[in-house]
Amino acid sequence: MSRPLLYVLVDAVRHDYVQPGRTPYLARLADERGLSRMRPLLGYSDAIRAAIFTGRYPDEIGYWMEYCYRPQESPFAPLQRLAPLDKLPPDILRRALKVALSQTVVRRTGKRLDYSHLSLRHLPFRALDRFDWTLRTEMSAPGALGAPTMFDRLTDAGVPWRYVDAFKLGKQGMLKALDELPRETRFVFVYLHQVDMASHLFGIRSPLFERALRRTDALTEQVVERARRRLGELDLAVFSDHGMSPVDRIVSYPSLWTHPAFPERFCFALDATMVRLWFEDDSRELRDEVRGLVSRGVAGRFLSADERRELHLDFDGRLYGDEIFLLEPRTAIFPNFHSMLRPKAMHAYHPDDSEQHGIAIGVGRGGGTVQLVELAPHALRTLALDATDLAPAA
């Protein structure tokens, strides 16, 4: 029988952070097991986790963003009557109101409609009837995505596994969960969020960030030792989902929020590094006007059809945008639909950018580049399970 396998996802650890003076445990582990770069995909943490869990790219499973354009099924439609509040200054007050609604009315709505999680984020009130939460259940739940996850595969094979999330449990709760793992557990997936959070809040040039990086390095060692103490000798892989770029310039799009044709004739989504657009008529004049508002004076470009195919974002249907404008690294959008506070560092730029590359230790032979979709088949093979149908797509 194979040894238990421990996966540790250390969110947002960039490939060049792994140095003895900054991350002594990861540097030691890299010397022992080999260090490769992890190439992300274009998308945020939910899209990346879906790729990790399934071994499939977004266009293979049909999942990319946590919320999508689905006017016929929006659970938020009753709240559209609050549209006048879009004019309420300042922006932080509107955000605070949406947080409060997400914790009360929206939470009750989600429970009634069988969503495991539902939030307004910072969607405009006047366009709430256009958007839906893409998944109704957690990604690790059985059959949650458009393809079996590694967790589904393990369950079907009768292999006991656990997913341990430090963001949900807190540090002490996470360590306690490791101490109490059933002895028969064969696969443990641990998620550590601290470096990602510190990056967004403090920036990656801050002493506070360096402190968070060092503490997370030490916490990673604790995780490995606790799991080893409970389960015995382990196979181990430690990896990050993406790197991080400092934000040197902020752009905003007030003209989109107030445009008279929004949301009836066009709609938009402001991600921190992307603008996604939907058009409801064939007006070339309107399309050119809106495209100009998005791109004028901003370092970035609209992704061509070929680029979207290369980035595995060539979807059937319109869930995630008719057009996508991608910013260049070190520029970010704020206000956007996600962030409560102005981000001081960001990810989800083009995955070819070196600053976006993460780490992979114990996956591959060291050196070179690992793809996110290699992680699920690697786990199955390590646990002596069949992974022949999970050869990564070109």
Percent of the chain with pLDDT strictly greater than 90? 90
| Residue 211 clears pLDDT 70, i.e. is over it | yes
DSSP β-ladder status, 345-346 and 131-133: unpaired
pLDDT of residue 340: 83
Mean pLDDT across 296-302: 97
Neighbours of 142 (CB within 10 A): 12
Asked whether the beta carbons of 18 and 26 are under 8 A apart, the reply is yes
- Nearest-Å Rg of the Cα atoms of the chain is 21
Asked whether the beta carbons of 178 and 227 are under 8 A apart, the reply is yes
Short-list 220, 232, 110, CA closest to 171: 220
Mean pLDDT across 314-332: 97
- Residue 271 burial (CB < 10 Å; 0-12/13-18/19+)? buried
| Residue 388 clears pLDDT 80, i.e. is over it | no
| Residue 392 clears pLDDT 70, i.e. is over it | no
Asked whether the beta carbons of 5 and 162 are under 8 A apart, the reply is no
Q: For the range 95-99, what are the long-range contacts, defined as Cβ-Cβ under 8 Å and sequence gap of 24 or more?
A: 95/122, 95/335, 95/340, 98/122, 98/123, 99/340
Asked whether the beta carbons of 49 and 139 are under 8 A apart, the reply is yes
Mean pLDDT across 297-306: 97
User: Most distant CA pair in the chain: distance in Å?
Assistant: 66
Q: What residues have CB less than 8 Å from 37, skipping those under 6 apart?
A: 15, 357, 358, 359, 360, 368, 369, 370
């032979």: which residue's tokens? Answer: 365
CA distances from 229 to 28, 175, 179, 223 (A): 20, 12, 8, 10
- Whole-prediction pTM value? 0.94
pLDDT in tens, 36-72: 999 999 999 999 999 999 999 999 999 999 999 999 8
Q: Domains of the chain: which residue ranges?
A: 5-61+139-245+351-390, 67-133, 248-343
CA distances from 332 to 86, 92, 142, 308 (A): 22, 17, 35, 20
Residue type, 247: V
- 316 SS3 class: coil
pLDDT in tens, 212-225: 999 999 999 999 99
pLDDT of residue 87: 86
pLDDT in tens, 82-140: 999 988 888 888 889 999 999 999 999 999 999 999 999 999 999 999 999 999 999 88
Q: Which CATH class is domain 248-343?
A: alpha beta
pLDDT of residue 391: 54
291: which 2 tokens?
A: 């495209």
- Kindly indicate the confidence band of residue 344, based on its pLDDT and cuts at 50, 70 and 90: very high
Neighbours of 253 (CB within 10 A): 18
| Residue 394 clears pLDDT 90, i.e. is over it | no
pLDDT in tens, 133-188: 999 999 888 888 989 999 999 999 999 999 999 999 999 999 999 999 999 999 99
Domains 5-61+139-245+351-390 and 248-343 belong to one CATH topology:
no
Q: 5-61+139-245+351-390: what fold?
A: Alkaline Phosphatase, subunit A (3.40.720)
| Residue 1 clears pLDDT 80, i.e. is over it | no
